[in-house]
Structure 1
Amino acid sequence: MMLAAIWAQDEQGTIGKKNRLPWHLPNDLKFFKQMTEDNTIVMGRKTFEGMGSRPLPNRQTIVMTRDKDYQAQGVIVFHTIEEVLDYAKTFTGITFIAGGSAIYEDFLPHCDVLYRTLIHHTFEGDAKFPIVSWDDWTLINLSEGEQDEENHYAYQFETYQRKVSSEQIN
């Protein structure tokens, strides 16, 4: 099972405003597409609806909701963390956790890898990424994003891998 979180945040941990991204950074959207295509993405209902209630092409979308009657075309609807973890155990690719805040918080303890785009700017927003215990993670890749006429902010792509504790080895 491979579970990974993928997100972009500003320097204050802001990830959203009214269920949308508070910035326009096309290169981060390209990165998200490149990483998640042919894999599965998991998001909460509000995040899904903030994207226009449509699944992204070339990936399986799982929408998490407490609403037992919720349905959306072209997606799998799950109501519990366990359902997603069971799915991830049988899926051969990567199951990406893609927001919002509560979904990240629920799944962070289960993630093996974190893909964070850190934007060197601050934005107004109403959603923050949960606190990460960075001592549990090792930075395995860091690359500076390219600023240009479409990508106005300095940013970097970071990949972290969970450290293996002695309890996990034994």
Structure 2
Amino acid sequence: MPPPINLIVACGENRVIGQGRRLPFDIPEDKRWFHDRTANTTVVLGRICYEIWPRVRLDGRVPVVVSSNPALAQPGVHVAATVPAALAIARALPGEIMVCGGQRIYEETLPVADRILLTLVHAEVPGDVFFPEWRHLPWRETWRRESADANYRYTFSILERAR
């Protein structure tokens, strides 16, 4: 049986995940959650996410980058031209698979995802990159924790695809 495909994302109520190649919010607790959950996993991500995440190769992460540029490949970094090819590479590697964005990668993997590790920021934030709509799909929440900082209220939750 292939390993489950997990999407890990933080988004606003309006599904915004990015603004000008940056996260639209700075939530230290969410950054810790993200780094802890992706440590020692295979991370599937687009080229821009790869380029702006300097710590991607730390903590045992094995990146699989979706890009048409094979020059991005180097020891410990896999490159695939398409999302299906990236998932095939990820499935052949040991450990969990975590899809880390961006928008197009999420759009193509949401239909085949088994789980979403979601940080829902309870705010409408400005942005130009979005997580695809997931609320109409058959998910069941298996874990949830509410939290807040000085700027935002947010909910961490794990959604499993209802089979």
Q: Return the TM-score normalized by structure 2.
A: 0.88
The residue that corresponds to 1:21 in the other structure is: 23
Q: 1:113 aligns with which of 89, 112, 115?
A: 115
Structure-1 separation of matches of 2:142 and 2:12: 20
Aligned equivalents of 2:18, 2:75: Cα separation in 1: 24
Which residue, out of 93, 96, 103, partners 2:95?
A: 93
Residue 143 of structure 1 aligns with which residue? 145
Match of 2:77 in 1: 75
Structure 1 or 2, whichever has the larger Rg, is 1
Unpaired runs of 5+ in structure 2?
none
Match of 1:35 in 2: 37
Per the TM alignment, residue 74 of structure 1 is displaced from its structure 2 partner at its CA by 4.4
Q: 5+ unaligned residues in a row in structure 1: which ranges?
A: 165-170
How big is the alpha-carbon RMSD for the aligned residues of Structure 1 and Structure 2?
2.0
Instruction: Name the counterpart of 2:162.
Output: 163
Shift of residue 7, structure 1, vs aligned partner: 0.3
Letter in 1 for 2:24: P
When the two structures are aligned, how many residues end up with a matched partner? Answer: 161
**Contact 2:79-2:86 at 8 Å conserved across structures:** no
Give the residue type in structure 2 aligned to 1:153. Answer: Y
Q: Residues 99-137 of structure 1: CA distance to partner in whole angstroms, max 9, x if unpaired?
A: 000000011111100111001122211101112253421
Question: Alpha carbons of 1:134 and 1:115: their partners in 2 closer, same or farther (altered >3 Å)?
Answer: farther
1:102/1:56 Cα in 2 relative to 1: closer, same or farther (>3 Å)?
farther
**Relative to 1, partners in 2 of residues 1:60 and 1:72: Cα closer, same or farther, differing over 3 Å?**
same
1:168 counterpart residue number: none
Q: Contact 2:27/2:149 (CA < 8 Å) preserved in 1? A: no
Partner of 1:153: 152
